Amino acid sequence: MVKIRLARVGGKKNAIYRVVVADARSPRDGRNIDTIGRYNPQTHPSIVEIDVAKADKWLADGAQPTSAVRKLIKIARAQAA
């Protein structure tokens, strides 16, 4: 199954995440199919940049978002409007 999930980048105690499309069997920071955005929770307000068109394409193709990514996509849609 293909999932839309967060992959951690950044240094120790400096978590920044990429929103990626990956096979569910691959490791969290391992191989991914596509990178569709980024999320930085350390800034105020948090930076959420997701290509909503790409996310919609992957969702239409059957990719399952994690609960955290589902919330981030909702925020990104609100920012785009």
Pick the CATH number of 2-80 from 3.30.1320.10, 3.10.20.30, 1.10.4100.10, 2.102.10.10: 3.30.1320.10
Banded model confidence at residue 35, pLDDT cuts 50, 70, 90: very high
The pTM (predicted TM-score) of the whole model is 0.91
d(CA 21, CA 64): 9
pLDDT more than 90, % of the chain = 91
Banded model confidence at residue 64, pLDDT cuts 50, 70, 90: very high
User: 18 — phi, psi (to 5°)?
Assistant: -105, 145
What is the rounded average pLDDT of the residues 29-47? 94
Q: What is the pLDDT of residue 29?
A: 86
Task: Note whether 47 and 38 are within 8 A (CB).
Answer: yes
d(CA 59, CA 65): 8
> Could you give the dihedral angle defined by the CA atoms of residues 35, 41, 43 and 47, in that order, rounded to the nearest 10 degrees?
40
